[in-house]
Amino acid sequence: MVCFTSKISVLLLLLLSAMVLQEGNCSTHSCNKKDQSALLIFKHDVVDPSNYLSSWSNEQDCCAWKGVQCDNVTGRVTTLDLSNQYLEGLSLRNSNYQSLVKPSNAYANFSSLKYLDLSFNEDLQLDNLKWLSHLSSLQLLNLSAINLGSETNWLQTMAMHPSLLELRLSMCHLNNISHSVMFVNFTSLVTLDLSQNYFHSNLPYWLFNISTCNLRKLKSLRLDDNELKGPIPDWLRKHEHLQHLNLSENLFNGSFPSSLGNLSSLTQLGVNSDSLSGNLPNSIGQLFNLRSLYIGGSLSGVLSEKHFFKLFNLESLVLLSAFSFDLDPNWIPPFQLHEIDLRNTILGPTFPEWLYTQKTLETLDVSSTGITSINSDRVWSFLASVRAIRLSKNKISADLSNVTLNSEYITMNHNNFTGGLPLISTNVYYLDLSHNFLSGPISPLLCSKLGREMNTLYYLDVSHNLLTGVIPDCGENCRDLAFLKIHNNKLGGEIPPSVDLHKNNLSGNSLDISNFKSLEYFNLGENNFSGVVPTRIPKSIQGMILRGNHFSGNIPAELCSFPSLRLLDLAQNKLSGSIPSCIFKYSFLDGARTIKYHPRFSVEFFLRGREVEFQGDWLFGILDLSTNNLSGEIPPELFDLTQLCALNLSRNHLVGKISSNIGGMKNLEILDLSNNHLSGEIPAAISKVSFLSLFNLSYNDFTGEIPSRGQLLTFTSWSYVGNPKLCGPPLLTHNCSEEVVNHDEAQQDGSNDSLNDSLYIGMGVGYVTGLGGVLYSLLLNRPWRHKYFGFLDNILDWLYVFVALKLNKLRELRASSR
């Protein structure tokens, strides 16, 4: 990745200056030659991995280039749109841009450029924005997702553009909202987007000082995701032309201002803060132009018809606070909604009658709303036309045996649904029925056909139910199925006639899911499968969880040949033999793997005996072979998997040493080798692993001194107990001898040395252990964890040196006093 230096400001200034210089005798429709030359110079030096600028060449007019627009009369470039094209930076080596400003009239007129959009090139960094001051005619400026963290005077620079209509600086790492500035010359500004920055302050005076003509034309104001605090100011009502107002995901406190109900021009309103309290004012019901309403946080109270009285144009209703409803059972709302999200409100115990009046509904979320009973015939008929439904985490009791589901996206987990699995239409893409009481075989859902078309099911979770039987051989009917979660049921396996078990001298059953050609992830954990670990699985597999079954025999070497495998969990089975050395040959499990997008993807893995859910759009390397009967040495090649995130080989019969190559496993976050027969010294290189959130070497045969550098200082004695030949902190009862002293001196001073050493080291370890107390809470937030441990590493190194110097000084003083 090439990073921007401070020269980027000069380069962009020169580029844009050359683009807007006036030139006589322009062709009516062809591109200005000076503009074209400047753009070609820019292309030559920009890093363009997506080849977005491939159309920029002398073979065609620059006004036809991608991202470039010209004035129809003068041919001058007026718009440069390079948004979201993954540009990474510029190479300034061996470049001379002085020739671009040689003409004597170089700064005479920069009036042509009106629109500049460099947004969502996330690797770009601009040290300052002074180069913008020469572009006096800018009407639209979008620098969203570009790092402007080092720019402290951004507001003053923007205020030098009185013709600016749109200013978008979302996700720019801004942290200064300029409270010292009393007035900003935004006389024409219509759109202001400062969302997702780091202001963490009250709203500034310049924003609500709309005296003279400042900000009087403002129609769109986005301040969401900024950690803004203080009360929501009453002066917002002065922005009488506001149409879009988003204040969500901030730290506002106090009550919800009723004055917002006076902004009759509002079409979109978003307010969400966990520090807000009180009721939602009735005045919200007066916003007759409102199309989207999003309210969340700690508000409560009762909502009545008055809160919706004049919301004739409302299309999206999102209420995420603990509101309850006092509505007439025969109430007919004044709106027809496309989206309803009422999760965590109090709707139950019955399904609300007024929802049936919504004929244009596309998405419905009534999760965690206390609904316990439904009219099955009426509800399923109504929901059949809704594209996405979420009924999760209620206590709905209903039999699904004779139900046919039709929505594309369905989550009905954590309820009391009973009976057999429902049928699904070919529309269903995502289905989560986990944590219910469904019984019977899985075959009706996977194998049944409605009409001649195959189903398009991509994600299926029926885990934590009472299902029995086998996985049916009907993968051809589920050619798109990529994620299959059926763990925690009572499923079992049968012997396919094509599998030759004598070749491996094994007995029992085997499992064949090779017909599910598109499968990327499956979880069959906590069932009753037995026999050999299945190898008849699709080559597309990325994650495979078979923990908690009765698989036996060796770990098959065939697993090493699956090129996309990044998560392998075979824990709590009856596997024996050694770990295949082919792990290194194929380097499976090494590196992150992006998975195909779909809503709310989650992976379960186990940590300290508990199931932990990880959500994201990628899989990191995870290998869990714990609680089996594996023997032999850990292949040293395994420690060369530098991208591995979690490694658990605990509760086996493994012997040998830990390779010093473990120091190169920079991404390792979970390491558990406990309850084996590993021996030798703990390699000092292990101190280089900086992101560990779980570390356990207990109950082995390790010898020597515990490495006392880096993050290892944050772990307690529980990480090392059961190794009687280990010494050193945090095992303070097993101190290692640090220097050769005669026996008499050791007897005389040993107890004092131990006491003082323990004091200093205990102080250090105690301090660091306090810092380490947040490790578990950071476990599932990878970016925060990496930043935290990077900082912690520096602290630990300093602390180690500090303690060592103090100990040496103490020994010198003691020696001189003798």
485, β-bridge pairs: 461, 523
Phi, psi of 431 (to 5 degrees): -140, 120
* Higher local confidence (pLDDT), 689 or 366: 366
Per-residue pLDDT reduced to its tens digit, 423-439: 999 899 999 999 999 99
* Higher local confidence (pLDDT), 96 or 791: 791
Residue type, 761: I
Chain centroid, CA 688 distance in Å: 26
Q: Are 510 and 524 in contact (CB under 8 A)?
A: no
Least confident window among 410-414, 477-481, 694-698? 477-481
The mean pLDDT value for 169-189 works out to 81
Residue 523 exposed, middle or buried by CB count within 10 Å (0-12, 13-18, 19+): buried
pLDDT at 94 over 90: no
Cβ neighbours of 72 (radius 10 Å): 10
Chain centroid, CA 748 distance in Å: 58
Residue pointed to by tokens 């994650």: 543
Q: Are 447 and 477 in contact (CB under 8 A)?
A: yes
Helices (H), 422-540: 443-447
Phi, psi of 371 (to 5 degrees): -75, 130
- Degrees, nearest 5: CA angle 186-187-192: 45
Does the residue 548 lie in any domain? Answer: no
Does the residue 685 lie in any domain? Answer: no
The mean pLDDT value for 10-32 works out to 46
Does the residue 6 lie in any domain? Answer: yes
Q: What is the pLDDT of residue 812?
A: 53
What's the Rg (C-alpha) of the chain?
33
Which of 256-265, 474-483, 807-816 holds the top average pLDDT? 256-265
Least confident window among 93-97, 412-416, 660-664? 93-97
Q: Provide the pLDDT confidence category of residue 757 given band limits of 50, 70 and 90.
A: very low
Q: What is the pLDDT of residue 306?
A: 95
* Higher local confidence (pLDDT), 37 or 724: 724
Question: In whole angstroms, what is the distance from residue 411 CA to residue 432 CA?
Answer: 5
Does the residue 65 lie in any domain? Answer: yes
Nearest one of 638, 642, 591 to 619, comparing CA atoms: 591
Q: What is the pLDDT of residue 742?
A: 36
Question: In whole angstroms, what is the distance from residue 62 CA to residue 39 CA?
Answer: 8
Helix 33-45 to helix 7-20 angle (10° resolution) is 160
Least confident window among 64-73, 91-100, 347-356, 539-548? 91-100
Q: Are 666 and 640 in contact (CB under 8 A)?
A: no
Q: What is the pLDDT of residue 515?
A: 75
Question: In whole angstroms, what is the distance from residue 82 CA to residue 86 CA?
Answer: 9
Q: Which residues of 312-341 are buried (b: 16+ CB within 10 A; e: fewer)?
A: eebbbbbbbbebebebeeeeebebebbbbb
Does the residue 192 lie in any domain? Answer: no
Least confident window among 319-323, 394-398, 596-600, 713-717? 596-600
pLDDT at 766 over 50: no
Question: In whole angstroms, what is the distance from residue 371 CA to residue 352 CA?
Answer: 9
User: β-strand 694-696 against 77-81: which pairing, if any?
Assistant: unpaired
Share of the chain above pLDDT 90, in %: 38
Residue 157 structure tokens: 């620079």
Q: Which residues contact 206 (CB under 8 A, 6 or more apart)?
A: 155, 178, 181, 182, 183, 184, 214
Does the residue 297 lie in any domain? Answer: no
Share of the chain above pLDDT 70, in %: 73
In the chain, how many domains are there? 1
Q: What is the pLDDT of residue 25?
A: 36
Q: What is the pLDDT of residue 58?
A: 84
- Predicted TM-score (pTM) of the model is 0.69
- Backbone torsion region of residue 636, taken as left when φ is above 0, otherwise alpha when ψ lies between -120 and 50, otherwise beta: alpha
Please state the length of the chain.
818
- Degrees, nearest 5: CA angle 82-84-85: 65
Question: In whole angstroms, what is the distance from residue 391 CA to residue 414 CA?
Answer: 9
pLDDT at 791 over 80: no
Do you find a cis peptide bond into 349, omega within 30 degrees of 0?
A: yes
Residue 752 structure tokens: 């004092």
Q: What is the pLDDT of residue 772?
A: 41
Does the residue 108 lie in any domain? Answer: yes
* Higher local confidence (pLDDT), 714 or 364: 364
Q: Provide the pLDDT confidence category of residue 613 given band limits of 50, 70 and 90.
A: low
Question: In whole angstroms, what is the distance from residue 697 CA to residue 703 CA?
Answer: 12
Does the residue 788 lie in any domain? Answer: no
Determine the 3-state secondary structure of 91 from DSSP: coil
Q: What is the pLDDT of residue 352?
A: 95
Question: In whole angstroms, what is the distance from residue 299 CA to residue 293 CA?
Answer: 15
Cβ neighbours of 204 (radius 10 Å): 18
Please provide the average confidence, as pLDDT, over all residues in the chain. Answer: 78
Question: In whole angstroms, what is the distance from residue 460 CA to residue 462 CA?
Answer: 7
Q: Provide the pLDDT confidence category of residue 5 given band limits of 50, 70 and 90.
A: very low
Which of 204-208, 314-318, 477-481, 805-809 holds the top average pLDDT? 314-318
The mean pLDDT value for 487-513 works out to 52
Q: What is the pLDDT of residue 31?
A: 81
Q: Provide the pLDDT confidence category of residue 179 given band limits of 50, 70 and 90.
A: low
- Degrees, nearest 5: CA angle 517-523-525: 140
Per-residue pLDDT reduced to its tens digit, 665-684: 888 888 999 999 999 999 99
The mean pLDDT value for 64-88 works out to 79
Q: What is the pLDDT of residue 435?
A: 96
Domain range enclosing 25 = 1-132
